[in-house]
Structure 1
């Protein structure tokens, strides 16, 4: 039997069947690296919330194997990076790309700029998860529930939707038989 590990970020996104790895790019990378060093799984499933840049609606659920790490300064031509800032564990043309940053987008014009790059949603940890998974040669998948749009009221919308979003995510995981029960 394969050793499948379900992980989440933490704080509001704690599940009895998932190991929290930390919030943001850095903590999630450090903690997931430790996990892979000491208890390397055969498959990783990251579950959590996502903000929508506009096409996905609150409570939509989607799966992805592709993430980017693009900061807002990119759209103003105010920065550059020497790193590969898109990672995919499958055919990126068929994936819902999830952008990761340590900041939440609250500007609708920036959200539209992400959509022009075919990036649909944001989650703070997913780029780190895929980067660590790739480094350790572990297949990985992200399963996300949309909690909010990326606009001025993003945090308020997230807070009001997270409880229902987690319930819908659990229902999805049960339906897909990724988990068998919730204790």
Structure 2
């Protein structure tokens, strides 16, 4: 099953599950209860914490939920906030998820310092639901922006082409038909 967020991030080959951590978790759980898929592939855009370049395609099986309050020690969590389906010894790009988009260069550098590579609002929910239901899962992302003050502007200007690049990547990998 190929999934995407929804709203302006839809694909004709993917099922939209909602934007953000909550809607995506609810809707994917509903799907899993009705028709448990054999595999989940989430496809979407992502912001880079600096190491990955705009229009780069990233594949990952590891998601985190590190909120910005963690960076200045104004918040903590008692839950396990990293989920991975990675079984190989290669280093996986960690996709951080939050309902908020990082727009601070300082926070971007701190996230990178924690080992986070990119951010996408839904991926942690997808990986956590997949983990609970015992469904293998992963994600494919196209970088649309850096997580800095220009994040929204750059996302808007790069989003359309990112969707084209994601489609091409999936066609080239034989995951969808052209």
The more displaced of 91-100 and 66-75 is 91-100
Aligned: 1:115 with 2:141: no
Alpha-carbon separation, structure 2, partners of 1:115 and 1:153: 18
TM-score (normalised: structure 2):
0.97
| Equivalent residue for 1:37, pick from 33, 48, 63 | 33
Q: Deviations over 1:30-53 (max 9, x none)?
A: 000000000110000000000001
Alpha-carbon separation, structure 2, partners of 1:93 and 1:81: 28
Q: Deviations over 1:87-106 (max 9, x none)?
A: 11115871100000000000
The more displaced of 26-35 and 147-156 is 147-156
Structure 2 unaligned spans of 5+: none
4+ long deviations beyond 6 Å: none
Structure 1 unaligned spans of 5+: none
| Backbone CA RMSD of aligned residues | 1.0
Alpha-carbon separation, structure 2, partners of 1:39 and 1:7: 14
Match of 2:147 in 1: 150
Match of 1:13 in 2: 9
Alpha-carbon separation, structure 2, partners of 1:161 and 1:114: 22
Following TM superposition, by how much is the alpha carbon of 1:66 offset from its aligned partner in structure 2, in angstroms?
A: 0.3
Match of 1:67 in 2: 63
Q: How many residues align?
A: 177
TM-score (normalised: structure 1):
0.95
Alpha-carbon separation, structure 1, partners of 2:64 and 2:135: 18
